[in-house]
Amino acid sequence: MENNLNFFFRHQIWHVGGTIVLFYIGYQLVNLDSNTNIFLKISALSWFMIAMTIPLVHQVYTWICWRSELCWKTVSSSIGLKGYLIGFFILIILRFSAVVLCFVDYGSLYKPGLISWALSVVVFIPGLYTMYSVKKYFGFVRAAGADHFDPKYRSMPFEKRGIFKWSSNAMYTYGLAIPFGFAIATGSQSMFIYSIYSYISIWLHYLCTEKEDFKIIYGNN
């Protein structure tokens, strides 16, 4: 790379800036001011803000770790791959805090019934199958971007088994169906907003960060 600093920030105004704009739009659209439900002494609106903040923090963390490693080997010379993975998977687990919205904001958009529950099962299936395929064929460590840190992952062939038969980018295409499944099953307006926000923002991450990184890691292959 001719200019490491330039590559480090490449397209991040669209990635981070776009995610912040989506966050703001979501905040303007949600209607939780009159919601008095509380879980663990935290209000529904606060749970929404927590849920919306975690994907932003997660994606910024991933960008900084990936790009700093590619540019200067910063992660390898400090916390190492294991340290990065600990932070990455903690943030992945924290993303599930959004499920609380399904309970504190249950039925705010419509009253769930048999049709919505059946539809949610249909939506859950590709999402859950994606998680199964990642675990069985791809590996969660590789999915976390291990190819940025360990050259052995770069020589592995692109996966074509399981859900990856249908999409080479199944994790983003189908994996993010899971939050929509929760939203459909519970009729939660805030969960729908979160689901749309997280789906669009993860594609911003892919297009602005991951896809650009692949050009450095894999070249034209």
Q: What pLDDT is attached to residue 168?
A: 82
| Residue 59 structure tokens | 């994606």
Q: What pLDDT is attached to residue 220?
A: 65
With 70 as the cut, is the pLDDT of residue 77 above it?
A: yes
In percent, how much of the chain has pLDDT > 90?
Answer: 89
Are the CB atoms for 144 and 89 separated by under 8 Å?
Answer: yes
Which pLDDT band, with edges at 50, 70 and 90, does 221 fall under? low
Query: What own/partner pairs with CB < 8 Å and gap ≥ 24 does 131-135 have?
Result: 131/175, 131/178, 132/162, 132/163, 133/161, 133/162, 133/163, 133/164, 133/170, 134/171, 134/175
Report, as an integer, the average pLDDT of 102-115.
97
Average pLDDT, the chain: 95
Closest CA to 136 of 153, 161, 155: 161
What pLDDT digit, counting tens, does each position of 122-156 carry? 999 999 999 999 999 999 999 999 999 999 999 88
Task: Report the number of distinct structural domains present in the chain.
Answer: 1
With 70 as the cut, is the pLDDT of residue 1 above it?
A: no
CA distance 25 to 23: 6
Structural domain of 48? 4-217
Q: Rounded to whole angstroms, what are the CA distances from 126 to 115, 121, 188, 203, 209?
A: 18, 9, 21, 18, 25
Nearest 10 degrees: CA dihedral of 45, 53, 134, 155?
180
Closest CA to 149 of 212, 49, 93, 67: 67
Give the position of tokens 């050259």. 151
